[in-house]
Amino acid sequence: MNYQTLTQVMRRLALEAGDKIMEIYESDDFAIKTKSDESPVTAADEAADALISIGLREAFPDVALVTEEQADSHGEQASTFLIVDPLDGTKEFINRRGDFTVNIALVEDGRPTRGVVYAPAKGRMFYTDSVGKTVEEMGPFDKETVGETKPLQVSTPNNDALMVVASKSHRDQATDDYIGKYGVKDMTSAGSSLKFCLVATGEADIYPRLGRTMEWDTAAGHAVLAGAGGRVVRFDDHTALSYGKTGFANPFFIAYAPGVTLKDG
């Protein structure tokens, strides 16, 4: 895998998909369908998925591709694969809250090693560079030319005064109970994979997720966080969250800056 080419392609496709998504987001109305798992899907999900899939298959024809919107890709079994959520945070999109992202990642031997998370309505883009370090690129964005970038590093947390980020659409009592085990200075909420990015930038110290997610929801954010020095572990035993699982469903997990002293569930 040529990581420099991968970085360029993922970045460009995320920006192009973001443009498609925003065209629909800013329209007067858009159709909403329901998938077999009862989750919503819009024309923006489908348009972004088609654009990204064509681009990745053209650039990397020999690498397996898994994408949320193509059920026939969910039977893929490979040690190295690209994984895409073309519009993460569809509920945020539908409710016009802006906290939605384009997620593209590379998984190698069960670990997300490269990824891009682009939040087009927020004007924020995070990605791993050719050596796997995470940067945030400052807008406005040009598809062919990289603008000013800022290297990211997770916080050095104070365990008596942690910044916590939690899901905006999937918050529940179990999550609140777990957060209550920590010394918390402040809390914020965010949608989609932006939660991983807030830990990567040091804007938050820990993000616990006690709810259903799929690997395409988390891989890009996981890669971004790892490239900034962060970790993502299973909630139950604090071992590393792995990828390429049958069915691509995740267990509960915790994303955090390594200085956080994790509590048992």
Distance, CA of 71 to CA of 36 (rounded, Å): 11
Distance, CA of 63 to CA of 80 (rounded, Å): 7
Q: Is 180 annotated as a binding residue?
A: no
Number of H helices, E strands in the chain: 6, 14
Q: Is 90 annotated as a binding residue?
A: yes
Q: Is 28 annotated as a binding residue?
A: no
Q: Is 265 annotated as a binding residue?
A: no
Q: Is 205 annotated as a binding residue?
A: no
Judged by DSSP in three states, 69 sits in coil
What are the residues whose beta carbons fall under 8 Å from the beta carbon of 254, sequence distance 6 or more?
206, 207, 208, 209, 232, 233, 234, 235, 238, 262
Nearest by Cα to 154 from 207, 211, 236, 226 = 226
Estimate the share of the chain in helix, then strand, then coil, as percent rounded to the nearest 5.
30, 30, 40
14: which 2 tokens?
A: 């995320």
Q: Is 85 annotated as a binding residue?
A: yes
Question: Per this entry, what is the length of the chain?
Answer: 265
Q: Is 88 annotated as a binding residue?
A: yes
Residue numbers in the known binding site are 68, 85, 87-90, 217
Q: Extract the annotated binding site for substrate.
A: 68, 87-90, 217
Residues in binding site for Mg(2+):
68, 85, 87-88, 217
